[in-house]
Amino acid sequence: MEAVRRPTPTTPGLGMVLGGGGARGAYQVGLLRAIARRYPHLQVPILVGVSAGAVNTTHIASHRGTFADCMEDLVRHWCSMTPDQVFRVDASSLATNVLRSGFRLVAGGQAHPEQFRGMVDTEPLRHFLHRVLEPAADGSLPGIDHNLQRGSLRAVALCATSYTTSQSVTWVQGRGIATWERPQRRAEQAQLSVEHVMASTALPLLFPAARVGSEWFGDGGIRLTAPLSPALHLGASRIITISTRYDRSQAEADRPQVAGYPPPAQVLGVLYNAVFLDLIDQDVVRLERLNKLVERMPVDQRAGLRVVDMLVLRPSRDLGRLASEYEPRLPRVFRFLTRGLGTKRTESPDILSLVMFQEDYLRRLIELGESDAERQWERIAPFIEAEPERISAVR
């Protein structure tokens, strides 16, 4: 059934936070596509992206067309993606990186750092982003400046982790934006580029770090303890955040996912979930508690704290478990390596879902995102169409 278009709402304080999840970022695109069908001219003036969410965020911020046009282009780009457009999957390249990794481990730290730059070579991803984002000769993204000047965008922020200083860094490009500092977190004004996106998406150990300025950076989710914070600092009064983490019931959470000693795939899956997916859920809980506390306080005693409305959207299925259905169609050499990590021994190979950039799995995630949006429309529409009366608490 074709979606019924609705009047374009006024959204001056609307922010959107798109978190990590590697290939799971396709789910975010499907959900946003369903929203765009009803609100083709929707404007989201405050955008924050982390890890895979940085790819989607940057595309939205730099696209010159309508929200609906933007989503259709983003769906097309995701559906054209293959593993060899993200990292080199040929046998020689994978073998070289594995051997370098092993040599680094047995060399007692004496090997040159160049010997190990991640398990896979992500130069294809850099080429893909250049083709999609069309940067200028100086590396900047003209579409972002265009949208800032016409007023459809107020600010866009990308988060990364500095391996050089061990800080969480948020790069911000926007109009009238003041930066901020918190313990182990800092914001910097920047002219965003493909290299900023590469830095935010650099999965630790798997993908090589990216250099921005004089520092080396990895995935933005590593040290970002408050994923919603950048949107609040940028002035969001309402925040839509799309998690790629399935909310398991207590019975599902208690069910063992692996029998016997955990294989590396299970250990890595738990680790990556804790770093990239759990933090946003914890931050949502903290902000909800803060909202309740602020609501009970007299206005003149709130000391600058204000209530923030939130809409959290998440998949109705376990994306890790779903990935196992598509694992047999991975490139043979890459499939050999992932099975060596024990992805066949766990019921929910979350680590596999992060790197499964293949068309059939990505299309399935997009379809799931669209269907989930339809099922949750009674939550989505009132949130988007609500008249904003409350503005953000700054943390």
pLDDT in tens, 66-80: 999 999 999 999 999
Beta strands in 184-270 (DSSP E): 185-189, 210-212, 215-219, 238-242
Instruction: Please give the pLDDT value at position 98.
Output: 57
Question: Using CB atoms within 10 A of its CB, is residue 289 exposed (0-12), middle (13-18) or buried (19+)?
Answer: exposed
How is residue 6 written in tokens? Answer: 């609705």
Which ranges constitute the DSSP H helices of the chain?
A: 25-38, 52-62, 67-79, 91-106, 123-133, 142-150, 194-200, 229-233, 250-254, 264-272, 278-296, 319-324, 332-340, 350-355, 359-375, 377-385
Q: Report the b/e string of 296-312 with b at 16+ CB within 10 A.
A: eeeeeeeeebbbbbbbb
Q: Is 110 helix (H, G, I), strand (E, B) or coil?
A: coil
Beta bridge partners of 189: 172
pLDDT in tens, 286-308: 888 988 888 888 888 888 788 88
Other C-beta atoms closer than 10 Å to the C-beta of 327 total 18
Characterize the bridge pairing of strands 168-174 and 155-162.
antiparallel
Closest by CA position to 211, among listed 230, 221, 196, 224: 196
Instruction: Please give the pLDDT value at position 300.
Output: 82
Closest by CA position to 143, among listed 105, 192, 77, 207: 192
Instruction: Please give the pLDDT value at position 203.
Output: 86
Q: What does each of the 395 residues of the chain score in pLDDT, given as a tens digit?
A: 467 787 788 788 999 999 888 899 999 999 999 999 999 999 999 999 998 899 999 999 999 999 999 999 999 999 998 888 888 766 565 555 555 555 455 455 555 555 456 678 889 999 999 999 999 999 999 999 999 999 999 999 999 999 999 999 999 999 888 999 998 999 999 999 999 999 999 988 788 899 999 999 999 888 888 899 999 999 999 999 998 888 877 887 778 887 788 887 788 778 777 777 777 888 888 888 988 888 888 888 888 788 889 999 999 998 988 888 887 777 676 676 677 777 777 766 787 888 889 899 999 999 999 999 999 999 999 999 987 554 444 44
* Residues in Cβ contact with 13 at an 8 Å cutoff, skipping those fewer than 6 apart: 45, 46, 235, 236, 237, 238, 388, 391, 392
Inter-residue contact 45 to 153 (CB < 8 Å): yes
